[in-house]
């Protein structure tokens, strides 16, 4: 088993949550990231309009760590100028999907 698939299994323990391409959907990645970095927080449900700062209680240090982790995991840049406009899960998903499609082409 190669390192990529091992990492994917660690991030998404339920194989049905993986997308067809083998990369977990952004919400799955975000939920697992929150479990690792905020283990004492109550279980969450991520909706389109879940506010990343207020509903998930992400402070500036959490945001910086999340952005770096997303950049490393998905292999795409996340521009600092854009981060201030990413308020909801929908915003984050739309931006990451745009970046992923741009770099996949």
The answer to whether 12 and 28 have CB atoms below 8 angstroms apart is: yes
User: Cα 15 to chain center, whole Å?
Assistant: 17
Furthest-apart CA atoms within the chain: distance in Å:
40
53 is in which domain, residue-wise? Answer: 28-104
Residue 62 confidence (pLDDT): 92
Number of domains in the chain: 1
Per-residue pLDDT reduced to its tens digit, 55-77: 888 888 999 999 999 999 988 88
Instruction: Look at the pTM and tell me if it is higher than 0.85.
Output: no
Instruction: Give the pLDDT confidence of 10-20 residue by residue, as tens digits.
Output: 444 433 333 44
Q: Is residue 63 part of a domain?
A: yes
In a domain, 5, yes or no: no
Q: Domain holding 93: CATH number?
A: 1.10.1200.10
Secondary structure class of 21 (helix, strand, coil): coil
Spatial distance between the Cα atoms of 64 and 27, rounded to a whole number of angstroms: 18
- Rounded to whole angstroms, the Cα distance separating 39 from 82 reads 28
Residue 91 lies in a domain: yes
């Amino acid at each position: 088993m190669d390192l990529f698939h091992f990492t994917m299994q660690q991030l998404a323990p339920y194989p049905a949550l993986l997308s067809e391409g083998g990369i977990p959907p952004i919400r799955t990645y975000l939920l697992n990231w929150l479990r690792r970095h905020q283990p004492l927080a109550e279980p969450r449900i991520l909706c389109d309009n879940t506010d990343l700062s207020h509903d998930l209680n992400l402070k500036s240090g959490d945001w910086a760590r999340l952005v770096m982790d997303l950049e490393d995991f998905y292999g795409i840049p996340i521009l600092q100028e854009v981060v201030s406009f990413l308020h909801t899960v929908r915003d984050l998903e739309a931006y990451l999907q745009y970046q992923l499609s741009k770099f996949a082409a």
